[in-house]
Amino acid sequence: MAELPVSIPHAGVISCVEMHTSGEPTRIVYAGHPQLTGTLLEQRAEAKAKYDHIRRRLNWEPRGHFDMYGAILRPETELTATGKAHIGVLFTTNDGYSTMCGHATIALGRLLVDSDERIFAQRSKLEYDPESQTTQVKLHAPCGLLDVTVPTLKDGRRSDPSRPVSFTSVPSFATGISVNIPIGPEYQWPELRGRHSVTADFSYGGAFFCLISLGELGFSGRLNQVDLAKTNIATKKLKAAIVANPDLQSLFQHPIEGDLSFLYGVMIVDQQLGQPSSDSDSAETGLYYFSGQQIDRSPTGSGVAARVALAYAKDPNFTTKRTYHSLVSHAMTTKSNNGGFIGTVVQKVEADHPFPVVLVEVKGSAYYTGFSQYVVEDSDPLGDDGFIFEKLSAPLTS
Q: Which residues are catalytic?
A: 101
Q: Is 178 exposed, middle or buried (0-12, 13-18, 19+ CB in 10 A)?
A: exposed
Question: How far is the C-alpha of 129 from the C-alpha of 126, rounded, in Å?
Answer: 10
Kindly report the backbone phi and psi dihedral angles of residue 375, in degrees, each rounded to the nearest multiple of 5, phi listed first.
Answer: -130, 170
Kindly report the backbone phi and psi dihedral angles of residue 370, in degrees, each rounded to the nearest multiple of 5, phi listed first.
Answer: 170, 180
Q: Is 307 exposed, middle or buried (0-12, 13-18, 19+ CB in 10 A)?
A: buried
Residue 377: strand, helix, or coil: strand
Contacts of 368 (CB under 8 A, 6+ apart): 17, 18, 19, 110
- Please name which of 336, 338, 313, 335 lies closest in space to residue 324, comparing C-alpha atoms: 338
Q: Spell 314-352 as b/e; 16+ CB within 10 A means b.
A: eeeebeebbbbbbbbbbeebeeeebbbbbbbbeeeeeee
Q: Are 188 and 198 in contact (CB under 8 A)?
A: no
Residue 381, preceding bond cis, omega within 30 degrees? no
Q: Are 64 and 27 in contact (CB under 8 A)?
A: yes
CA 289 to centroid of chain Cα atoms: 11
- Tell me which amino acid residue 93 is: T
- Tell me which amino acid residue 19 is: M
Count of residues in the chain = 398
Question: How far is the C-alpha of 303 from the C-alpha of 248, rounded, in Å?
Answer: 20
DSSP per-residue string spanning 270-282: ETT-----TT-SE
> Alpha helices, DSSP H only, in the chain?
40-50, 52-59, 78-81, 102-114, 228-244, 301-314, 327-332
